[in-house]
Amino acid sequence: MENKTEKNNRSLKVVLGILVLLLVATAFYTYTLYNDSANTEKQLIQEKEVVMKDLNNMADQYDVAIGESEVANQKLVEARDRIQGLIDSLKVSDNNVRSLWRYKKKFLALEDEMDVLLAENDSLKVENALLATVLDSTQIQLEERTVFNDSLLAQNTELADIVENAAVLSTAGLKGFGVIVRSSGKLVPTERAKRADKIRVCYTVTKNSLVASGDQEFFVQVLDPKDNVLGLNEQIQFEEKVLNYSLISKFNYESKDLDICEFIEPIGDASFTKGRYVINIFSEKNLVSTSGFTLE
């Protein structure tokens, strides 16, 4: 009976020993597994941070490329937005191998895309720089052409003014003197004021190739010694200037010298007075020539 009891005790001790060994082994395995899991999660977090850093660096490169141009490249903007979306998704993703591997694949694809887009952007910058150089050169040429045109316009305006000022008729040989008018119509010059029936004013219209042929006119003004206007003594206004004239000398100009004589009568029935007389020839408001003579 005792032998049987001892035998049972030994069996129980063996079983207890085995259980203790299994418990120790299980505890060791569980501890090891826990450590491995913790190390794996720590490594995954570190790798996740590396991917996040790489994505942020990539986004920064896009920001620099976009900021170098006033007009943003739409492809670069869209690529940067995709990276930002991946960053936001990675922040809330699970820390497991499968999830991290998926993000790494997307990052690698975006990295290849960035190389292509940045190369295209660099090419565009070179083309834009060349275009800007061409535009600057064109602008300079346009400015030079504008300056030249302005100068040419000023010269043409100045030339037109010169031509306009030169395209006027002038006179030569202006002279006046008293005449006695015979009943036969014969004219006898005289320097005696009381004997003169009329004052004869003669002048030559000189040739000017810049003036077209046709009807022309001068305003003749004869002043007596007291500055009275003889003849018609009528007024005509040119802008702000008023001219009193003795007569209008009308003639047909044919692009050659033309001799003209006009007559002025005394005021009313009175005779001419002694003294110096002045003759002025006007083309509109402009004085063309002047002369004088004396009656005794």
Identify whether residues 112 and 214 lie together within a single domain.
no
| CA–CA distance, 261 with 187 (Å, rounded to integer) | 12
Range of the domain at 22: 2-126
Domain count, the chain: 2
Q: Can you give the pLDDT at residue 97?
A: 53
* Among 216, 222, 284, residue whose Cα is nearest residue 249: 216
- Full-model pTM: 0.49
Q: What is the DSSP string of the chain?
A: -HHHHHHHHHHHHHHHHHHHHHHHHHHHHHHHHHHHHHHHHHHHHHHHHHHHHHHHHHHHHHHHHHHTSSS--HHHHHHHHHHHHHHHHHHTS--SHHHHHHHHHHHHHHHHHHHHHHHHHHHHHHHHHHHHHHHHHHHHHHHHHHHHHHHHHHHHHHHHHHHHHHSS--EEEEEEEEEEE-TTS-EEEE--TTT-SEEEEEEEEPP-TTSPSEEEEEEEEEE-TT--B-TT-EEEEETTEEEEESEEEEEEE-SS-EEEEEEEPPSTTPPPPSEEEEEEEEETTEEEEEEEEEE-
22 belongs to a structural domain: yes
Quick check: is 165 in a domain? Answer: no
pLDDT of residue 34: 47
Does residue 161 lie in a domain region?
no
Tens of pLDDT, residue by residue over 220-268, are 999 999 999 999 999 999 988 999 999 999 999 999 999 999 999 988 7
Of 126, 160, 183, the one marking the end of a domain is 126
* Type of residue at 126: V
pLDDT 10s digits, 11-48? 666 666 676 666 665 655 555 544 555 555 566 667 77
Kindly state whether residue 37 falls inside one of the protein's structural domains: yes
Residue 222 within any structural domain of the chain: yes
Task: Look up tokens 């006046």; give the residue.
Answer: 176
In a domain, 212, yes or no: yes
Are 29 and 102 in the same domain? yes
pLDDT value of position 189: 95
Q: Is the pLDDT of residue 188 over 90?
A: yes
Q: Are residues 218 and 111 in the same domain?
A: no
Please enumerate, as own/partner, the contacts of 31-34 that have beta carbons within 8 Å and a separation of 24 or more. Answer: none
Give the separation between CA 28 and CA 22, rounded to whole angstroms: 10
Amino acid present at 83 = I
CATH number at residue 213: 2.60.40
* 8 Å CB contact between 289 and 225: no
Asked whether residue 287 falls in the same domain as residue 175, the answer is yes
Reported as a pLDDT band with limits 50, 70 and 90, residue 163 is: very low
Same domain, 120 and 236: no
Judge if 94 and 21 occupy the same domain: yes
Q: Of 89, 108, 126, at which residue does a domain stop?
A: 126
Predicted pLDDT of residue 138: 74
- 56, two tokens: 């942020």
The residue length of the chain stands at 296
Residue 79, pLDDT above cutoff 90: no
Question: Which of 23-32, 109-118, 208-217: highest mean pLDDT?
Answer: 208-217
**163 found inside a domain:** no
Asked which of 126, 144, 162 is the last residue of a domain, the reply is 126
Q: Is the same domain home to 180 and 261? A: yes
User: How is residue 24 written in tokens?
Assistant: 């120790």
Q: Does residue 136 fall inside a structural domain?
A: no
Average pLDDT, the chain: 79
Q: Are residues 186 and 268 in the same domain?
A: yes
